Structure 1
Amino acid sequence: MGSGGLRVVGGTGAPVVVRAPGKINLALRVGGLREDGSHELVTVFEAVSLGEQVRASPSSRLRCTVSGEGAGDVPVDERNLAVRAALLLAERAGVPPRVRLDVVKEVPVAGGMAGGSADAAAALVACDALWGTGLTREELAVLGGELGADVPFALLGGTAVGTGRGEQVVPALARGERSWVLALSATGLSTPAVYGELDRSRVASGVEDAEVDVAEEQVVELLAALRSGDVADVGAALVNDLQEPALALAPHLRRTLDVGLEAGAVAGVVSGSGPTVAFLVDGREQGLAVAVALTASGVAADVRRVTSPAPGARVMTGER
């Protein structure tokens, strides 16, 4: 953003509805701690058809409501990422934060699928349109990176490689559409707790933090599989350094993985910091079989069938 600040061109004042996707980390390699206290990452994101919706409407003050998946566990004050996104955009644009944000959640709360980050991305796009602040996607992504490491990807969508804390994203070439069955848990997992368990296990194993390094080469196999579009190759290349820490904190997820794989899934992986488990499936019939097995076994609080890649945060035309 230029030294002259953000230009305000004036919005229409009509409500704006934006949808932003949840994500699965097809690869998540975790390096050592950075000076800012976060971990160095190399990850491959893929946006899924399960997403969040934010409706921004004119209001005399900043207000927020939340409905849908896990709404009772989501704050509506400045702890809410959508609220923080609106406040940040208003501050940088020099406009009063007068907006009502109605958030409709589909992505599980604390499920490792970046639902809060999707809310923030949707709020940035919606408020930008409502207030007419005229930011580019690149400028919105810079703001998004200040709000959370996954927000820039929720703006971009599709398939992308993330580096740094995950906030530096570049699109990745991926052929075809992938089908997934998601096993949702009744309770979430704390992302800091999962990273803390990873650090603890590395110390216990005698691994020095400085020895843990990640490089884009560690995801080359997956990127090649995505370019080919071969579902078996993609499944074989799925990797998540946070999976074992998540399983240590939530041992029941091992049974979830076993049930899905025994039912015929191509592969299964804990999504991000968990506890959502994502099963890659080859076609409708296999997906149905995996979903039925997960439901019948009782290992999942809920089961969803989704596809990827999905587009990033976008205004939904015709919705008011």
Structure 2
Amino acid sequence: MGGRIGHREVQVKAPGKVNVFLRVGSQQADGYHDVAIAYQAVSLCERVRVVPADEFAVEVTGSVELSRVPSDDRNIAIRAAKLLAERTGYRGGARISIEKHVPVTGGMGGGSADAAATLLACDTLWETGLPRDEMLELARALGADVPFALTGGTAIGTGRGDELSPALAQGIFHWVFALADFGLPTPEVYAELDAHRARHATEITPADDAPTVEADVLQALRAGNPRMLAEAMRNDLQAAALHLSPQLTRTLELGEASGALAGIVSGSGPTVAFLAADLDAALELQVALSAAQLNVVRATGPVHGARVIE
């Protein structure tokens, strides 16, 4: 396929996510773990703009700390664009501009959202028309959370988290996120989880080989009931994240003491997600945590996955 361009530029918005449930299976021979995740896409979004170019380049701006975001070929957005070009035979390039609002290495899938947005933006810009199932295949090749950033909404992820099935959900959930000024690389958190399990092998139940999402989580989502969901939330990575960053314990305690229904480390952390009963409670919690000198943002979920915007 040649370099025919049907658009001068394309902009796409893609959501961050919160894992309202994350169970991690036992470590496999290849070092990886199967997981069972209940994902919810939230209104904290990344915006990606692509314009035609002879080569691939990326620039990054935004409201979050950006020092850990690469601006060369290591950036997942460039990897996504090149992967799409390779799959479709497109011979041009793209200049990619990312406006980041999801914390970097914060456990909320910001890089995955960038990748998903770039796939959709370049496919639209280049008019390559990749079928949806092939787009999801490329997304899985880029990272376990990238397919969900494409689809959004509420979903159950199994396998490595990239085998998705939609979950019935209704209503709006109100979240307040406490952002950290540091990152927690996912591989380090999984390594600490394995070490934690080894240290306490005689005290804790062995991990499942094929974990599943518990029924009370699905029931709470289906009912749109935040109090039910607060009781059902779980993250197997939380203990590891707290061991690596003990200061997050104070954040969790402060949020729950300030009116949150529940707090949970988001994914591999270090972002802490607090579920509020309603909008008024979320606003009060945001004010209380801000007064305690925490960097917080408020969001709602579920929202759509990656979408082209005018």
Aligned with residue 226 of structure 2, among 231, 236, 242? 231
2:37 touches 2:213 (CA, 8 Å); kept in 1?
no
SS of residue paired to 2:260: coil
**Cross-structure match for 2:10:** 16
Aligned with residue 275 of structure 2, among 280, 290, 300? 280
Q: Any idea what the Cα deviations from partners look like across 1:93-130, whole Å, max 9, x if unmatched? A: 11124100001100000100010000000000000011
Alpha-carbon spacing, 1:77–1:289, altered in 2? closer, same or farther (3 Å): same
1:9 touches 1:132 (CA, 8 Å); kept in 2?
no
For 1:288 and 1:154, the matched residues in 2 are separated by: 26
| 2:273 matches 1:265 | no
Residue 272 of structure 1 and its aligned partner are, at CA, apart by 0.1
Which stretch shows the higher mean deviation, 136-145 or 113-122? 136-145
SS of residue paired to 1:72: coil
For 2:193 and 2:114, the matched residues in 1 are separated by: 27
**Cross-structure match for 1:45:** 39
Letter aligned with residue 85 of structure 2: A
For 2:213 and 2:126, the matched residues in 1 are separated by: 42
For 1:242 and 1:34, the matched residues in 2 are separated by: 17
1:86 touches 1:97 (CA, 8 Å); kept in 2?
no
For 1:30 and 1:8, the matched residues in 2 are separated by: 44
SS of residue paired to 2:112: helix
Q: Any idea what the Cα deviations from partners look like across 1:22-63, whole Å, max 9, x if unmatched? A: 000000000012344321100000000001111010112111
Q: Any idea what the Cα deviations from partners look like across 1:66-109, whole Å, max 9, x if unmatched? A: 00122332111121110100011111111124100001100000
SS of residue paired to 1:101: strand
For 2:164 and 2:284, the matched residues in 1 are separated by: 35
SS of residue paired to 2:118: helix
Alpha-carbon spacing, 1:157–1:214, altered in 2? closer, same or farther (3 Å): farther
Residue 11 of structure 1 and its aligned partner are, at CA, apart by 4.0
SS of residue paired to 2:21: strand
**Cross-structure match for 2:66:** 71
Unaligned runs of 5+ in 2: none
For 2:113 and 2:241, the matched residues in 1 are separated by: 22
Aligned with residue 140 of structure 1, among 101, 117, 135? 135
| 2:7 matches 1:29 | no
Residue 13 of structure 1 and its aligned partner are, at CA, apart by 3.3
For 1:214 and 1:27, the matched residues in 2 are separated by: 17
Letter aligned with residue 64 of structure 1: V
For 1:155 and 1:199, the matched residues in 2 are separated by: 30
How many residue pairs match? The answer is 309
1:111 touches 1:273 (CA, 8 Å); kept in 2?
yes
Letter aligned with residue 314 of structure 1: R
Aligned with residue 118 of structure 1, among 104, 113, 122? 113
| 2:200 matches 1:202 | no
Amino-acid identity (%): 50
| 2:292 matches 1:316 | no
Moved over 6 A (4+): none
Residue 10 of structure 1 and its aligned partner are, at CA, apart by 4.8
Q: Any idea what the Cα deviations from partners look like across 1:256-288, whole Å, max 9, x if unmatched? A: 011111111111110000010010001222112
For 2:202 and 2:192, the matched residues in 1 are separated by: 13
Query: RMSD across aligned C-alpha pairs, in angstroms?
Result: 1.9
Alpha-carbon spacing, 1:60–1:10, altered in 2? closer, same or farther (3 Å): closer
1:17 touches 1:53 (CA, 8 Å); kept in 2?
yes
Alpha-carbon spacing, 1:315–1:36, altered in 2? closer, same or farther (3 Å): farther
For 1:140 and 1:70, the matched residues in 2 are separated by: 30
Letter aligned with residue 261 of structure 1: E
**Cross-structure match for 1:62:** 56
Residue 212 of structure 1 and its aligned partner are, at CA, apart by 1.9
Letter aligned with residue 239 of structure 2: E
SS of residue paired to 1:195: helix
Aligned with residue 155 of structure 1, among 146, 150, 154? 150
For 1:130 and 1:295, the matched residues in 2 are separated by: 41
Residue 176 of structure 1 and its aligned partner are, at CA, apart by 0.4
1:11 touches 1:133 (CA, 8 Å); kept in 2?
no
For 1:154 and 1:181, the matched residues in 2 are separated by: 20
Q: What are the residue-to-residue correspondences of 1:155-304 with 2, within 5 Å?
A: 155-206=150-201, 211-213=206-208, 215=210, 217-298=212-293, 300=294, 302-304=295-297
Compute the TM-score of the two structures, normalised by the length of structure 2.
Answer: 0.95
Q: Any idea what the Cα deviations from partners look like across 1:139-187, whole Å, max 9, x if unmatched? A: 1110010000000000000000001110111110011010001000111
Compute the TM-score of the two structures, normalised by the length of structure 1.
Answer: 0.92
2:19 touches 2:40 (CA, 8 Å); kept in 1?
yes
